[in-house]
Amino acid sequence: MMLNRRHLLGALGGGLATLAARPVWAIPAEGARPALLPRALAALDTHRARVIEPGLIALVDFGLHSSDQRLQLVDVLNGRVLESHLVAHGRGSDPFNSGWVQRFSNRHGSNASSSGAFLTGEIYHGRHGRARRLDGLDADNDQARERGIVIHAAGYVDPAFVARQGRIGRSEGCFALSWAALDGVLERLGPGHLLFATK
């Protein structure tokens, strides 16, 4: 059965936090429920007044190595991962360039990734080309817009880079994707969606 927007919002409106505890997710046989999903659903419930598109969220598991596809787009109603992508973390979060996030920061000039819930904003064209702005919704990331933390593409986020270096490159705190993935992610993750990142 196809659900329209009104049905989806009605299903979600009953309390997203309770969904995290219910073992009724329809998980495809080839996939596993994302480890961060319960925490992301709790964040979705906390910020429900600002997240106007709750049916699709992005999860970024910075507990994984940068050679892993750490960004997942998740269909909330079905608990199903729709697609997964490589995503960079900030060089300030990984000072030894190991591919592992060591720390987060919300400080200007840190060049680090921030953790927590973000709200996707408008598309703009900047020094990295087409990009989507982000607003931090938590105390740990509320400087995201002022810091210029966005979703953009970079040449150092690519499977070929992983094959050569064993990891992808680092950003200045932005969620950098491959050029091949960027347009699709920006379109699916339009304004008003939740992006939840942590480790």
Q: Please count the CA atoms within 13 angstroms of the CA of 84 that sit on its side-chain side.
A: 14
Residue 81 in 3-state DSSP? strand
In sequence order, what are the residues at sequence separation of 6 or more whose Cβ sits closer than 8 angstroms to the Cβ of residue 131? 123, 124, 125, 150, 151, 152, 186
- pLDDT at position 35, please? 87
Specify the pTM. Answer: 0.84
Residue by residue, DSSP assigns 159-182 as HHHHHHHSS---BSSSEEE-HHHH
Specify whether the CB–CB gap between 90 and 154 falls below 8 A. Answer: no
Q: Which domains can be identified in the chain, with CATH numbers?
A: 33-198 (2.40.440.10)
* Segment-wise mean pLDDT, segments of 10 residues, the chain, 199 residues: 40 42 34 83 97 97 98 92 97 98 98 98 94 98 98 97 97 98 97 98
- pLDDT at position 8, please? 40
The rounded distance, in Å, linking the Cα atoms of 63 and 70 is 9
Residue 182's alpha-carbon distances to 22, 152, 165, in angstroms, are: 33, 7, 22
